[in-house]
A and B are shown apart, each in its own frame.
Chain A
Amino acid sequence: MADAAVAPDPLREPWSDLSRQREAATLGMWLFLMSEMLFFGALFMAFSFSRALDPAAFAEAARHAEIAYGAANTAVLVTSSLTITIAVRAADVERGRLAARLLAATAFLGVAFLIIKGFEYRDDLRHHLVPGHDFALGQNATQIFWAFYWAMTGIHAIHLTVGVALVLRLFWLVRRGRISLASPQLEVTSLYWHLVDAFWIVLFPVLYVAVRA
């Protein structure tokens, strides 16, 4: 793949120097990640606060979450973080083809996560675990737990979908040689991906594991 030859200059306005541009892109992404951390942080705070109001109901409700799906998905996402890390390293050392493959693998794992999640959602729906009148566990705080479950996993899934789209785009650009391997976009996208992964790492114990005890 003769990508480097046709790849456009990664330098963008208003920068006059690529290393500063990369530094700024990374800084910008970190700022955005700080913002995201407060986004999810507030959600986790709200969850813990609500659980403290009625720990028993939350424990009861959590017993109905399907830990097998959750565990499988954790494995999938952790692997995807690994592949995207290697992809960035590969790009650093100008191994464009390898980087493209690994990006594809990352996107694939992201989609796999979403599919597994879809199966889990289907089971949850069958078991009447959506808050409302025909909710399976009664009209009490178990509904609050499940409200959080849907909100948290849903928001995470949206983030992941965005991530998959970004990674696919990068994959396509890298494959076609439409982007220089020195572009800050690779690193920035991988940072985002790690963040989405990290949120799942927190979500998983909170929703599936900790409150079962």
Chain B
Amino acid sequence: MTDAVVPIDHAEPRAARVAAGSYLDSEGGGLSEWLLATDHKRIALLYALMITAFFFIGGAAATLIRLELISPHGHFLTDDEYNHVFTLHGIIMVWFFLVPLIPATFGNFLLPLMIGAPDVAFPKLNLASWYLTLIGGICVLAAMMLGGVDTGWTFYPPYSTAFSNSNVAVAVVGVIIAGFGTIATGVNFVATTHMLRAPGMTWFRMPLFVWTIYATSLVMILATPVLAITLALVAADRLFGLPVFDGFRGGDPLLFQHLFWFYSHPAVYIMILPAMGVVTEVITCFARRRVFGYAMMVYAVLAIAIIGFTVWGHHMFVSGQSVFANLVFSFLSFIVAVPSAIKVFNWTATLYRGQITFEAPMLYALGFVGLFTIGGLTGLFLASVPIDIQVTGTYFVVAHFHYVMVGGAVSAYFAGLHFWWPKITGRLYPESWARFAAVLMFFGFNFTFFPQFILGYLGMPRRYHEYPPEFQPWNIMSSAGAVVLAAAYLMPLGYLTWACFYGKPAPANPWNAKGLEWWTSSPPPKHNFLRTPVVTEDPYDYHDSDMSPEPQARPVDVARAHG
């Protein structure tokens, strides 16, 4: 456990110590100082705590799902209980875990640091976002307590409006409230990026993580309101009997699906773009190479964000929409994959001629590239109409989205968590534990979800709590893998908590990395920089000859002067 991260600044342990002026203690540590904090760094930590809690609630639901599916007869839960459990799992994991995951934690913490700003543009609004998300989450949990929701996270009418006997309205209202929190975050980040960049921080000097947060925020602003109104119409039906989607009275249930996916497809890019940003930062740092094709990466991010708005119909190939629509949406889904391909190739090319080391963040990041590639490529299967006809509504889709969301986005989150952990907490984490967890997660993940591709093509429908006995071997495999995966997720909870208290103090720049966030102390002072930094060079200026394990003092390493 005493393994330290390389390279450490042995020369000056005191100076890099959790300085008295750090954001963690400069404003007081009482509960109200935290719950009313407007400092973006504190809000990031509030989010991190909340999101971790939601992850374990969603994870507990996943545990129940996998437990139930060990047996084909589903003796462990009743059908209604099972329906409630996967609905809870989906709602919590999507809206209260993955959508805010990276933007609200690293985005909040790092966006101002990376562009050299003292805070986000609207600090109070930032805090309000957190409360909105929290209240939304409480509504969803309340809906669960009051009898549950059984519609699936997609809320399709007429089941959700006219037939379900569960607490749809409360859950839907919770999601809408959290949606406003998301919009507020998006507004805040876009305004911050436009208005608060430090002198010299031109658009094309911004780190790619900032670009991805910027693009994500735009998608949040433009897509989330459509979800809000769509779900509001569902709530209006349940609460006041307004039958907007009622097919028997001349409405159209497909209209709901169009609106829902018009949001939800861009939403999957809300989940993956920031993850791509994190991975870019990590790979370039540990390969000690400038990102291959910086400009291309920027355009790819923007292209994904824009084209992502045009492909929603690929979720509706068998819904009864027209053939022509199917062809168009299929075509666009292939097109949107091109920029993702560019990113995968550029990450690979960044490794070429590097000076690569394999600390835990790098292991997670490489795991991301592998799992995202598999998840993305199976997205192309789904985009091909004849194959989608076979596998839509089956475990193939379940496997696809867990590969991109869990294997992709969550791995990237762990990469970033380890990468910026010293900056956020001022402490180093135990490296060999972290490496072990990273490898375990990769294998546990594949073990859990790869069998589901096979189940899917065989035709095992999703949202089934009993299934034909011939599918059992694959399901047992998947459940066994989930045990490994659960262990891999619980490990960081343990060793990172430990590191909060007993980890070695971190220097300002433990990785010898290049972003502005490393110019200031670990953890940073309240206003991030004592003097506004002035940017004079392009990002990722990792020189080919720079092999020195020692962190380099930066010209504006202000916190040291302060300490």
Chain A residues engaging chain B, CB cutoff 8 angstroms: 13-14, 20, 23-25, 27-28, 31-32, 34-36, 38-40, 42-43, 45-46, 49-50, 53-54, 57, 130-132, 139-144, 146-148, 150-151, 154-155
Tell me if A42 and B191 are in contact (CB < 8 A). no
Tell me if B119 and A14 are in contact (CB < 8 A). yes
Tell me if A147 and B250 are in contact (CB < 8 A). no
Tell me if A46 and B195 are in contact (CB < 8 A). no
What total of chain B residues lie within 8 Å of the partner, measured CB to CB? 47
Partner of A139, one of B188, B224, B236, B249: B249
Partner of B121, one of A24, A46, A146: A24
| Assembled-state Cα–Cα distance A158/B75 (Å) | 47
Tell me if A49 and B252 are in contact (CB < 8 A). yes
Partner of B123, one of A14, A40, A53: A14
| Assembled-state Cα–Cα distance A40/B225 (Å) | 8
Inter-chain contacts of B229 with A (CB < 8 A): 39-40, 42-43, 46, 155
| Assembled-state Cα–Cα distance A45/B233 (Å) | 13
Given A46-B259, A50-B255, A14 contacting B230 (CB threshold 8 A): no
Inter-chain contacts of B222 with A (CB < 8 A): 34-35, 38
Beta-carbon nearest neighbor of B119 in chain A: A14
Tell me if A13 and B119 are in contact (CB < 8 A). yes
Given A143-B249, A143-B250, A23 contacting B195 (CB threshold 8 A): yes
Stretch at the interface among B239-247, B319-327, B406-414, B437-445: B239-247
Beta-carbon nearest neighbor of B532 in chain A: A16
Tell me if B241 and A42 are in contact (CB < 8 A). no
Beta-carbon nearest neighbor of A147 in chain B: B242
Tell me if A42 and B195 are in contact (CB < 8 A). no
Beta-carbon nearest neighbor of B258 in chain A: A49
Beta-carbon nearest neighbor of A139 in chain B: B249
Inter-chain contacts of A34 with B (CB < 8 A): 221-222
What's the dominant secondary structure at chain A's contact region? helix
Given A34-B221, A147-B244, A13 contacting B123 (CB threshold 8 A): yes
The distance from the CB of A14 to the nearest CB of chain B, in whole angstroms, is 4
Give 19 A-B pairs besides A32-B221, A35-B222 with Cβ atoms closer than 8 angstroms: A13-B118, A14-B117, A14-B118, A20-B195, A24-B121, A24-B191, A25-B122, A34-B221, A35-B187, A39-B229, A40-B229, A50-B250, A50-B251, A53-B252, A142-B250, A143-B250, A150-B240, A151-B242, A155-B229
Against A, the Cβ 8 Å flags (1 = close, 0 = not) of B239-279 are: 01111101011111001000100100000000000000000
Inter-chain contacts of A154 with B (CB < 8 A): 236
Q: Is B194 close to A, CB under 8 A?
A: yes
Q: Is B232 close to A, CB under 8 A?
A: yes
Q: Is B37 close to A, CB under 8 A?
A: no
Beta-carbon nearest neighbor of A45 in chain B: B259
Q: Is B451 close to A, CB under 8 A?
A: no
Q: Which B102-135 residues have C-beta < 8 A from chain A? A: 112, 117-123, 125
The distance from the CB of B366 to the nearest CB of chain A, in whole angstroms, is 36
Q: Is B283 close to A, CB under 8 A?
A: no
| Assembled-state Cα–Cα distance A154/B186 (Å) | 26
Tell me if B221 and A131 are in contact (CB < 8 A). no
| Assembled-state Cα–Cα distance A141/B251 (Å) | 7
13 contacts between A and B (CB under 8 A): A23-B195, A24-B195, A31-B221, A32-B221, A35-B224, A39-B228, A39-B229, A54-B250, A57-B250, A131-B242, A139-B249, A142-B250, A147-B251
| Assembled-state Cα–Cα distance A13/B526 (Å) | 12
Inter-chain contacts of A132 with B (CB < 8 A): 241
Tell me if B250 and A141 are in contact (CB < 8 A). yes
Beta-carbon nearest neighbor of B189 in chain A: A31
Residue among A142, A151, A155 having the largest count of chain B Cβ atoms under 10 Å = A151
The distance from the CB of B442 to the nearest CB of chain A, in whole angstroms, is 38
Residue among A14, A38, A147 having the largest count of chain B Cβ atoms under 10 Å = A14
